[in-house]
Amino acid sequence: MDIKVVRQIMEWNENCHEELQQHFNDKKILMINIMGSPGAGKTTFILKLIEELKSENLRVGVIEGDIAGKIDAEKMAEKGIPVVQLNTDGACHIEAQSIKNIVPEFDLDDLDILIVENIGNLVCPAEFDIGEHLKVALLSIPEGDDKVEKYPLMFTRSNALVLTKYDMKDYFGFDEERVIKNCKAMNREAEIFKVNSLKGDGLKDFICWIKGFIIKSN
């Protein structure tokens, strides 16, 4: 007799991820999962990104993942961005089921892109697919140039690495070549971007890249 083996959580999560991805395909939504340490600059990056995308008539919604509170969601709402706060009540990552529960809060016909700001954590979120088409890992210059080596799963599984707070590179003596070499060694396809989100420097390249994945034709 064959014994059916179910890999608890991870298998359910993967099924739910595929179902979500199909739903986003049907609705012609590009879904981006933004990950990184606490303080990597995820919120500032997303805010500036949306500002620039707006000027190209691209419509973006945001799911703000946080353990507690709604500080970042409030920042999005202030700018008139459709946003839903997802609180994990202590959990260190987001799972696909949570995204599935939240998606009905958005009118997907009115969006081109859905961005999820994951929990600030360079470890656990990398393990969970949540319906995204693109995983983007942010690494801020002040975090240091050894982080790709120390947190390999995140950088192996991400489609792009964005170096944020790039204006601080010289101050912190950040060895950019080390980071790029290590990232490419574990993930040859990874795109690498260098951004100062406050000023918007480097965002154009990133936008140019994601535009290749946008499904809706305007």
Q: Which residues from 18-57 bind its own copies, rule CB under 8 A? A: 37-39
DSSP-derived 3-state class of residue 148: helix
Task: Choose the binding region for its own copies from 10-18, 23-31, 136-144, 200-208 (rule: CB under 8 A).
Answer: 136-144
Shortest reach from residue 27's CB to its own copies, in Å: 30
Alpha-carbon span 48 to 60, nearest angstrom: 12
Q: What are phi and psi of 141, to 5 degrees?
A: -50, -45
Residues within window 104-123 making contact with its own copies, judged by CB under 8 A: 119-123
- Judged by beta carbon, residue 140 or residue 187, the one nearer its own copies is 140
Among 77, 142, 184, 192, binds its own copies (CB under 8 A): 142
Question: β-strands 83-87, 60-66: how paired?
Answer: parallel
- Output the smallest distance, CB 14 to its own copies, in A: 17
* 92 belongs to the binding site for its own copies (CB under 8 A): yes
CB environment 128-164: b (16+ within 10 A), e (fewer): bbbbbbbbbbbbbbbbebebbeebbebbebbbbbbbb
- Tally of helices (H runs) and strands (E runs) in the chain: 8, 7
| CB of 189 vs its own copies, minimal distance in Å | 21
79 near its own copies, rule: CB under 8 A: no
Of the candidates 94, 77, 166, the residue with the CA atom closest to the CA atom of residue 129: 94
Name the minimum Å distance from CB 152 to its own copies. 5
Give the one residue of 18, 105, 109, 146 binding its own copies; rule: CB under 8 A.
146
Among 45, 128, 151, 193, binds its own copies (CB under 8 A): 151
Q: Which of 149, 145, 160, 213 is nearest to 190 (CA)?
A: 160
